[in-house]
């Protein structure tokens, strides 16, 4: 409630969008924007603290995905995993990670594959240790319900499909 007795509307970045039929979605969009920027800043700084300054957020995400379950990945696997349309963005990240020795490339038939090196796996372990010490311990102290966090994550994945469908519709206009 404001000093003049009026209520404050939803917390959004664009009130004109919140005036539509679903103001809560505008709140979600603003929260995603702010959280996304904070998350990107965090992963870059955490990786720098782990000994790898100069990596961008996509580079960090690609490194962790390449390390995921110790399996080879393809460019298309990585693009699909992160819903990235511009393959050159992932290709650039892979070249950067390979140039500093964190991943190796190979082939599966005609397809190029990538896998994490021992140095890459070690970088991921150091990142995980820093994440546990600085982020997880802090968040655990807030006593968030982990089932609720999982539910929110599922909701966000479902919303991503709606945004993809809407983007396809907008592309056809």
Structural domain of 121:
43-161
Number of folded domains that form the chain: 1
At residue 117, the 3 state secondary structure works out as coil
pLDDT band, very low/low/confident/very high, at 1 (cuts 50, 70, 90): low
Confidence (pLDDT) at 9: 72
Residue 57 inside a domain? The answer is yes
172 DSSP assignment: T
- Centre a 10 Å sphere on the Cβ of residue 114 and count the other Cβ atoms it contains: 25
Helix (H) / strand (E) element for 114: namely strand 111-116
Q: Is residue 169 part of a domain?
A: no
Average pLDDT rounded to a whole number, residues 83-87: 96
The 10 Å Cβ neighbour count of residue 43 is 22
Q: Which residues contact 89 (CB under 8 A, 6 or more apart)?
A: 58
Which residue stretches of the chain are H helix? 15-18, 23-49, 57-67, 75-82, 87-99, 118-131, 137-141, 146-171
**Residue 2 belongs to some domain of the structure:** no
pTM for the structure as a whole = 0.90
CATH code where residue 108 lies: 1.10.10.10
On the question of pLDDT at 4 being above 90, the answer is no
């Amino acid at each position: 409630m404001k000093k003049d007795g009026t209520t404050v509307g939803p917390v959004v970045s664009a009130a004109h969008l919140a005036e539509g039929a679903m103001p809560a979605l505008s709140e979600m969009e603003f929260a995603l924007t702010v959280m996304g920027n904070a998350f990107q800043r965090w992963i870059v700084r955490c990786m720098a603290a782990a000994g790898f300054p100069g990596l961008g957020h996509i580079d960090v995400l690609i490194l962790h995905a390449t390390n995921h379950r110790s399996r080879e990945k393809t460019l298309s696997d990585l693009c699909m995993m992160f819903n990235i349309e511009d393959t050159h963005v992932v290709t650039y990240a892979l070249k950067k990670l390979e140039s500093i020795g964190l991943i190796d490339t190979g082939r599966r038939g005609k397809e190029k594959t990538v896998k994490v090196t021992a140095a890459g796996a070690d970088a991921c372990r150091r990142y995980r240790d820093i994440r546990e010490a600085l982020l997880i311990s802090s968040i655990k102290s807030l006593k968030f319900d982990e089932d609720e966090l999982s539910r929110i994550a599922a909701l966000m994945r479902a919303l991503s499909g709606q945004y993809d469908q809407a983007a396809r519709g907008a592309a056809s206009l």
